Each structure stands twice: as structure tokens, then as C-alpha cells.
Amino acid sequence: MKKIIFAALLVILAYTAQAQDAPRLYTLPSPFERYTHYLATVRMSGAAPVGSFSNTYIDKSSVRNFSISLEWVLRNSPISIGGELGSSYFQKRLPRALYQSGEETLSAVQTRTFTQNPLQVFVNYHFLNKSSVVQPYAQLSGGISIADYSLYYGSLVEQKQKVAPAYGIGLGSKFLFRKDGSFGADVRVKYEGTSFKYGYIEKGTSSVNGSVGLFYRWW
């Protein structure tokens, strides 16, 4: 329901922006090229665990991920810098099994979960200029991830929460709905990792995320 309301809100905002757009009287470059401007993006993404995180803990893909980012698109430069706050959630259920620990035997249905809220700063390098309808970019990011490892044995939980360093590298593209417009779509594929280690996670977490987002830019 929330998603529908949010989508409707975006559509209304888009129409409002269009209605206010006066006929172009001058042939000056777009303000988005002339000024350093802001750009906010909301993304929904699907994520697939990879590497040892997938081999030892959860190998099931997740679609319950989203993020918001705010960036400063610099004037006369292909670079933009910003911050992104995300949330991702992985879960896997294992049928009842016996787990041996020393002389202890435990029989339970395991529910493995891993939640993280990465807070990262990023740098985007844009391959085409800011008035282009299609704007491919490469991204590097680094920061922290507030991670929660909750391993359920039946209804008992073994939980570990900590803040771990996080990093990412991605390729994506922005697509403006209208030339020089404020709204657009964003598609990105990104590798994300953290150095979180606990329990079954021995070598940190890593995943490949594919996201689709909407952005709004202003100056």
C-alpha cells in the first residue's frame, strides 16, 4: 500500500513539474550544467549473496532491499559525490536437523537472517554530460554497515549486532524522463561487501545488487 501511495505521489509531482515548465525563451545551457545541483534517489533492489557468505550462511536471493541517496553533482566535472543509506535483508530457512557442538546435540529448524543498514559515501563518475538523457556512471563507495546477525533455532535466537566497515563498486545509468527535466530513473548493478564476521559468516558478507530507482534533481 505504501509503495502505491509513494508511486502516486511521484507521478503527481512529475505532472506538477511539467505544468510549471514555461516555454524556453533563451538558449542558455541547462541550469543542471551551469550549477552544482542536488540529486535524490530512492532505489528498490534485488540482491544475490555471493562468495563465502553464500556458501556458508545464506544463498537465497532477497528482494527486500531499498536505499535512499543524496548527491551533489559538481559543476564542470563528471564527478558527483554523495551519501547513501540502505537496508537489506537476507533470510533462509533450513529444515529440522541435528547440530553437534562438543557433546551437545541440538535439534531444530534453523532460520538464518542477516540484516544490514549500510551508510556509505560514494563517488560517481559520469561518462556523458548532465543534459544527456542517458547518463551512464561508475560508482565507488565506502562506509559502515550496521549489521544484525540473527540465527534462530526454532524460536531461540542467537544474535550479534555490530558496526562493520562496508564498501561497494557499481555500474549504472540514469535515464531522464525528459531532456533537462528533474525526474528520471536510475538502474544500477553493484557489488557490496562488509567485513562482518560472526558464527557461520567467516569471511565477511558480499552480494551483488541490482536496483531500479527514481530520482529527482534540483538546484
Partner 1 sequence: MFKITSLIILATFLGLSSCSKDPINDLSTEESLVYITNRDTQADYKKYKTFSVVDSVTIIENNRSGSALTELDKDVLTRIISNMKDLGYVQVTPSQKPDIGINVAWITNSQVNVTTMPSYWGGFGYGYGFGYPSYYQYYETSESYWHVSMVDFLAPNTVDKTYKVVWDAQIRGSGIGSRDFVSTMIDSIYAQSGYLKK
Q: 193: burial class by Cβ within 10 Å (0-12, 13-18, 19+)?
A: buried
Q: What's the distance, CA 70 to chain centroid?
A: 12
CA distances (Å), origin 28, targets 24, 32, 181, 203? 9, 11, 15, 53
Binding mask 34-53 for partner 1 (x = CB under 8 A): ----x-x-x-----------
Element (H, E) at 182: none
If the CB atoms of residues 54 and 150 are measured against partner 1, the closer one turns out to be 150
Stretch that binds partner 1, among 23-31, 73-81, 101-109, 205-213 (CB under 8 A): 101-109
HSE (CB half, 13 Å, CA atoms) of 44? 6
66 touching partner 1, by CB under 8 A: yes
111 touching partner 1, by CB under 8 A: yes
Distance in Å, CB of 110 to partner 1, minimum: 10
Contacts with partner 1 by CB under 8 A lie at: 2, 6, 38, 40, 42, 64, 66, 68, 70, 85, 87, 89, 91, 96, 98, 101-109, 111, 113, 115, 150, 152-156, 216, 218
